[in-house]
Amino acid sequence: TSAHLTLDPAFRTGTVDRRLFGSFVEHMGRSVYTGVYEPDHPSADEDGLRTDVLDLVRELGVTVVRYPGGNFVSNYRWEDGVGPRESRPSRLDLAWRSVESNAFGLNEFMTWARKAGVEPMLALNLGTRGPAEAVDLLEYTNYPSGTTLSDLRRSHGAEQPHDVRMWCLGNELDGPWQMGHKNAHEYGRVAAETARAFKRFDPGLELVACGSSNAYIDTFASWEATVLEHTYEFVDYISLHAYYDPVGCDVDSFLASAAEMDQMISAITATADHVGAKLRNKKKIKLSFDEWNVWYQSRFAGETSLDWRPAPELIEDVYDVTDAVVVGSLLVTLLRHADRVGAACQAQLANVIAPVMTRPQGPAWRQTIFHPFAQTARHARGTVLRVEPTSPVVETDRYGEVPTLWATATHDEESGDVVLFAVHRGREEALTLTAGVQAFPGARVVEHIVLHDEDTTAVNTAEQPERVRPRPVDGTKAEDGLLTVELPPVSWSMIRLT
Ligand code: AHR
């Protein structure tokens, strides 16, 4: 079987915003404690940060990290996590029914972000708290000095303001599981008033209003419409969250999860533009897909044995080859919508549904899903080219017919690199992909790497951390303006030309 597409710099979707390669650190399970922070770990630095994890985070190529939640943030008091450790309170975290020691808080996160080379993206508690506490946090975080809160930060060792640019106005407040759950009007008003105050402090801050927590919730799209009617003039982004569960659907539907992400992005773009039209406001709201991943969520829903412990093992999904191919295809979708998606965070970073796994006192390693993320973050630069492939289709229970090929490409004018990201979702046979590259005279293939395995259930573990990794493919060539690529079944590929 074969598929075809054309690469041409005349047809572009948008610019690759580096914030598309974001991630998420929540106070949940072992994400923070024994994930990024473990003072008595052999690799810990003077700040108690695991340097083995820091190395992997830099290799992953993460650009922006959302913190501190997630469901956790909706009942969080940021003041608990600053100042001398010995006087920080330990509290019950009702979101994850755990004990929070508060040994790690805002300033520790900022230190970690600096060392990891990532931009911080802070989420506010607009569940059980409101604009006043949010503005206090802003002043503590971003105001240089001379007020009680900014001087308090300085007395805590952070002399310079953190200058956080991107702020999430709460988390998933449409969800009945959320502490401080609200209806769209209630949330829209609180978000608008918080945003108004934030923009008064600094009109350049970038604010994200909460969108729906998933595409299946009853209020999907109507929530966004109402929230944006309240907040349109003050916010820059609306958030999207989606997790794709391999359990409970046919394999072909799971492999086609990117089709669902694609529809969701189109639906929310249309909703935002509808509100803009109604308000006669020419501004375009961008999308922040600030939680996305594969999550074996149905397994978690069955767990009832949560007890009140610090840093319990929570949703430590082990990802296989199929999961990694799906993650690669979700990144393709985000890039295909680069005109509207301005930020995205894979959820999460360490241990909790994460590309990086650790053992307390033990090693850190890369899950299968680490690889397509790292390669995409490294090579997707410049502009996204609009590709319109012709492809065979596969019949899925959930989405009907979907193309077996899912692809996008980027062109970096600075380096001259043209990079094709191609996922073959078919399970039976290889796909021969031809790509017209006449518009890039002299382009030659410098690299083709593939993530594929005869055993699609293969995983990486502490014992076999390199079992699944991308491999170089020899012989992929562009000749006479035509690139020809063999894509194995259930595979993710990156082909770089220059
Ligand atoms: O990432 C895990 C959880 O999923 C987050 O805390 C929440 O926002 C979402 O429901």
What ipTM goes with this model? 0.99
Distance of alpha carbon 483 from alpha carbon 5, whole angstroms:
10
pLDDT (mean) for 438-454 = 97
Give percent of the chain with pLDDT exceeding 70. Answer: 99
The residues near 217 (Cβ < 8 Å, ≥ 6 apart) are 174, 175, 223
Q: How far away, in angstroms, is 2 Cα from ligand 1 center?
A: 39
Exposure of 425 in the CB half-sphere (CA atoms within 13 A)? 30
Q: Which of 38, 108, 133, 172 is catalytic?
A: 172
pLDDT (mean) for 95-122 = 97
Q: Which two tokens stand for residue 238?
A: 């609306």
At residue 301, the pLDDT reads 67
Q: Is residue 34's pLDDT more than 70?
A: yes
Q: How far away, in angstroms, is 483 Cα from ligand 1 center?
A: 41
Give percent of the chain with pLDDT exceeding 90. Answer: 98
Q: Is residue 473's pLDDT more than 80?
A: yes
CA-proximal residue: ligand 1, atom 7 (nearest): 70
The minimum-distance atom of ligand 1 relative to the CA of 72 is 6
Q: What's at 63, amino acid-wise?
A: T
C-beta of 213 in contact with ligand 1 (< 6 A): yes
Q: Is there a contact between 214 and 241 (Cβ–Cβ < 8 Å)? A: yes
C-beta of 348 in contact with ligand 1 (< 6 A): yes
Q: How far away, in angstroms, is 250 Cα from ligand 1 center?
A: 24
**Domains of the chain by start residue, with CATH:** 2-9+385-497 (2.60.40.1180), 17-379 (3.20.20.80)
Distance of alpha carbon 21 from alpha carbon 64, whole angstroms:
7
Q: Which two tokens stand for residue 396?
A: 């899925």
pLDDT band at 7 (very low <50, low <70, confident <90, very high): very high
Q: How far away, in angstroms, is 10 Cα from ligand 1 center?
A: 39
What pTM value is reported for the model?
0.98
59 is catalytic: no
Q: What is the pLDDT of residues 39-96, one digit of tens each?
A: 999 999 999 999 999 999 999 999 999 999 999 999 999 999 999 999 999 999 999 9
Tell me the average pLDDT of the chain: 97
Instruction: List strand residue ranges (DSSP E) for 176-297, in order.
Output: 206-209, 237-244, 286-294
Distance of alpha carbon 350 from alpha carbon 54, whole angstroms:
10
C-beta of 171 in contact with ligand 1 (< 6 A): yes
Q: What is the pLDDT of residues 301-347, one digit of tens each?
A: 655 556 899 999 999 999 999 999 999 999 999 999 999 999 999 99
Instruction: List strand residue ranges (DSSP E) for 388-473, in order.
Output: 393-396, 400-403, 405-411, 418-424, 431-436, 445-451, 471-472
Q: Is there a contact between 62 and 23 (Cβ–Cβ < 8 Å)? A: yes
Judge if the upstream peptide bond of residue 297 is cis by omega within 30 degrees of 0: no
Residue burial 395-410, b: 16+ Cβ < 10 Å; e: rest: ebeebeebbbbbbbbb
Q: Which two tokens stand for residue 294?
A: 């594969």
Q: What is the pLDDT of residues 175-190, one digit of tens each?
A: 999 999 999 999 999 9
Give the N- to C-terminal CA distance of the chain in Å, as an integer: 27
Q: Is there a contact between 114 and 106 (Cβ–Cβ < 8 Å)? A: no
Segment holding 3, helix H or strand E: strand 2-6
CA-proximal residue: ligand 1, atom 1 (nearest): 347
Q: How far away, in angstroms, is 158 Cα from ligand 1 center?
A: 29
C-beta of 178 in contact with ligand 1 (< 6 A): no
Q: Is there a contact between 189 and 230 (Cβ–Cβ < 8 Å)? A: yes
Q: What is the pLDDT of residues 215-224, one digit of tens each?
A: 999 999 999 9
pLDDT band at 139 (very low <50, low <70, confident <90, very high): very high
At residue 299, the pLDDT reads 85
Distance of alpha carbon 241 from alpha carbon 243, whole angstroms:
7
Q: Is there a contact between 126 and 193 (Cβ–Cβ < 8 Å)? A: no
At residue 348, the pLDDT reads 97
At residue 300, the pLDDT reads 82
3-state secondary structure of 408: strand
At residue 26, the pLDDT reads 98
Judge if the upstream peptide bond of residue 372 is cis by omega within 30 degrees of 0: no
C-beta of 476 in contact with ligand 1 (< 6 A): no
Distance of alpha carbon 396 from alpha carbon 389, whole angstroms:
19
At residue 303, the pLDDT reads 54
Q: Is there a contact between 234 and 194 (Cβ–Cβ < 8 Å)? A: no
Distance of alpha carbon 369 from alpha carbon 335, whole angstroms:
17
CA-proximal residue: ligand 1, atom 8 (nearest): 70
Q: Which two tokens stand for residue 248?
A: 């409970």
Best residue among 65, 171, 298 to mutate for probing ligand 1's pocket (most ligand atoms within 8 Å of CB) is 171
Q: Which of 26, 100, 224, 291 is catalytic?
A: 291
Distance of alpha carbon 407 from alpha carbon 418, whole angstroms:
13
Best residue among 67, 172, 177, 349 to mutate for probing ligand 1's pocket (most ligand atoms within 8 Å of CB) is 172
Q: What is the pLDDT of residues 240-269, one digit of tens each?
A: 999 999 999 999 999 999 999 999 999 999
186 is catalytic: no
Segment holding 342, helix H or strand E: strand 341-346
The residues near 397 (Cβ < 8 Å, ≥ 6 apart) are 249, 250, 252, 253
Burial grade of 161 (CB within 10 A; 0-12, 13-18, 19 or more)? middle
Place of tokens 């997790």: 243
CA-proximal residue: ligand 1, atom 5 (nearest): 70
Q: Is there a contact between 293 and 334 (Cβ–Cβ < 8 Å)? A: no
Q: Is there a contact between 11 and 409 (Cβ–Cβ < 8 Å)? A: no
pLDDT (mean) for 262-285 = 98
Q: What is the pLDDT of residues 376-429, one digit of tens each?
A: 999 999 999 999 999 999 999 999 999 999 999 999 999 999 999 999 999 999
Q: Is there a contact between 421 and 385 (Cβ–Cβ < 8 Å)? A: no
Q: How far away, in angstroms, is 164 Cα from ligand 1 center?
A: 22
